[in-house]
A and B are shown apart, each in its own frame.
Chain A
Amino acid sequence: MKGQLTMPRIFLLTLLLIGSLMLPACSKPESAAPTASKLQVVTSLFPLYDFVRQIGGDQVEVTLLLPPGVEAHSFDPKPDDILRVNRAGLFIFTHKAMEVWAATIAQSVDPARVTIVDASVGTQLRQSSGHADEHGAHGHTANAAAIDPHLWLDFANAQVMVENIAQAMARKDPAQRDLYLRNAAAYLARLDALDAAYRTALALCKQRTLLQGGHFALGYLTARYDLKYHAAAAVNPEAEPTAATMAALVQQMRRNNLHYLFSEELVSPKLAETIAKEAGGSVLLLSAAHNVSKTDFERGITFVEIMERNLKNLQIGLECR
């Protein structure tokens, strides 16, 4: 019986394993004690996090709840996260369709202390067709009324969100009101410039159809710049593409002589690769910006940088001049 993995040994091993992982996590200084004077903001998703950062500069402490690389729909908040929201001055989330858990957290806080901000107020929401076709000409299914939650990909929406956030921050922290509004105005101009760059660059493309070998996430973007959009699967990440949808994408690539298929960053590119390979093309990455990789996050990537990177790949993929 020597050398066998007995139960006590397995448990011991597991405990050691957990312990060794927990030690560094516990001893890590929690980014010092939050400075009492600064406004504490907690955001659910990356775009909101970056907007707050752009508006508040170093006058706010902003925290992103969703860890890098974790799927927004399936995130499970830790006790620490709830605590952080309860200690914050502002808690900002996108839309209850995107982060169901954020709405749950929002209900649990003391409204006198923490101001809850629904950043989507006043934005233009798109219905996400149940089927992966942008114009929804065919395939409106039972869940056709569902809302596509990637609303920041329409830069006009992004601007409304920035304004909502700036107003909320100004109300919560009147001392810095001028700074917030000034920064917000500058950032709105950045978004205008970004919008103009997209409009110019995408006006002169050989291809007008964006094919995505994954989930339908870029509907706001394609609608704004008048592109056609076909994705292999619906907006909901749990939905599976059917063989016919995949075959249709392959045919479309072949028929229109398309060389590139787009895939979402972070998500496994296997589906897109399978379709692209079948049609003799290759895969380009796009980000819907709701989440970023750990590496990018630690590097301090911004929403605008992500969208500029997207534009470069769009120009390649759509064969723009």
Chain B
Amino acid sequence: MPFFEILGYGFIQRALIAGTLIGLLCALLGIFLVLRRFSLIGDGLAHFTFGSVALVLLCGVSATWVTYAAIPLVLIGALGILKLTSSARIHGDTAIGIVSALGIALGVILASLSGGYNVDLFSYLFGNILIISRNDVLLTAALAIVVVAVVALRGRAFFAVAFDEDLARTSGINTGRANIILVLLTALTVVLAMKLVGIMLVSALLILPPVAALQLGRGFLPTLLLAAACGILSVLSGILASFALNLPTGGTIIVASFLLFVVAALVGRWRRG
């Protein structure tokens, strides 16, 4: 199929638009998550979504709306991760591991207790960027606007918190609130992005573009902008490459973002000498 002809299809155009937005969303949030050593929160929340969806299905919510109905539970899961980290002697990655495992376990138990569903649970959980609906695109756009606005207004505070939480608090930043905003936005992004692009892609997009930007960035603002650019570039080049080479789109996006990271690491090393 000729390359340019394929761009004429509506589902391809929606994939490109939604992909750009998701790449941007994930990169903007991911940079703060990576710096806070919360990189795996995407994975953890996606697993927790599995349990939440199982529970919501059990309550008889129709299949079309399950992922959205699960959002409040996933938000609670995100706060749980945060609470675990701030209390006791538990690191971020450990807290994520706990919530992630709990989500899977609950999902498996609930699926078994329910004695079956009217739909295949997994096929509703794992998305594909090529089958995004118009409403999904609009919802993604709305979330992207919120995230861009929050980062524009409170980015400096997030940055200060990532640098040192005590210093941030003695600068008059409500660090508790900043953390809550960050994980809640991440939870929303994960649920939405997971439905659109699948579980593995969310996690990779939250990690790889920010880490690529960290190889090159000379300061905070350049790194943030670079991460956003890397996120968008990964998704767009991944989608286009998958058309050109006739490969599954989700996997190609991840490989593209990994290659981008490798290039960034090499350039970074070369620049440092």
Q: Do A and B come from one complex?
A: yes
Task: List the interface of chain A (C-beta within 8 A of B).
Answer: 4-7, 10, 14, 17-18, 21-22, 25, 67-71, 74, 76, 78, 237, 239-248, 250, 266-268, 270-271, 273-275, 277-278, 291, 293-295, 297
Number of A-B residue pairs, CB cutoff 8 Å, is 135
Q: Does B122 lie within 8 Å of A243, measured CB to CB?
A: no
Residues of B close to A291: CB separation below 8 A = 120
What 7 pairs across the A-B complex have the smallest Cβ distances?
A68-B116, A69-B117, A67-B116, A240-B248, A293-B118, A268-B123, A274-B131
User: Could you say which of B102, B110, B113, B247 has the most chain A C-beta atoms within 10 Å of its C-beta?
Assistant: B113
7 example contacts (A-B, Cβ-Cβ < 8 A) are as follows A14-B106, A25-B113, A243-B6, A244-B6, A271-B130, A293-B118, A294-B116
Known: A67-B116, A248-B1, A278-B10. Contact between A270 and B133, CB under 8 A? Answer: yes
Report the count of interface residues on B (CB-CB < 8 A).
51
Q: Does A241 lie within 8 Å of B130, measured CB to CB?
A: yes
CA distance A277 to B242 in the complex (A): 22
Tell me the nearest residue of chain B to A245, going by C-beta.
B246
CA distance A267 to B120 in the complex (A): 5
> Does B270 lie at the interface of the complex (its beta carbon under 8 Å from any beta carbon of A)?
no
Known: A70-B117, A293-B118, A294-B117. Contact between A7 and B87, CB under 8 A? Answer: yes
Residues of B close to A293: CB separation below 8 A = 117-119
Q: Does B121 lie within 8 Å of A70, measured CB to CB?
A: yes
Q: Does B115 lie within 8 Å of A68, measured CB to CB?
A: yes
Q: Interface of chain B, helix or strand or loop or mixed?
A: helix
Q: Interface of chain A, helix or strand or loop or mixed?
A: helix
Task: Kindly identify which residue among B79, B102, B119 contacts A266, using a CB–CB cutoff of 8 Å.
Answer: B119
> Does B61 lie at the interface of the complex (its beta carbon under 8 Å from any beta carbon of A)?
no
Q: Does A7 lie within 8 Å of B116, measured CB to CB?
A: no
Known: A69-B120, A70-B117, A294-B117. Contact between A10 and B133, CB under 8 A? Answer: no
0 or 1 for each of B81-122: is its CB under 8 Å from A? (1 = yes): 001100110000000000000100010111111111111111
Q: Does B106 lie within 8 Å of A274, measured CB to CB?
A: no
CA distance A176 to B14 in the complex (A): 61
Residues of B close to A275: CB separation below 8 A = 11
A294 CB → nearest B CB, Å: 5
Tell me the nearest residue of chain A to B87, going by C-beta.
A7
> Does B80 lie at the interface of the complex (its beta carbon under 8 Å from any beta carbon of A)?
yes
Tell me the nearest residue of chain A to B176, going by C-beta.
A4
B91 CB → nearest A CB, Å: 15
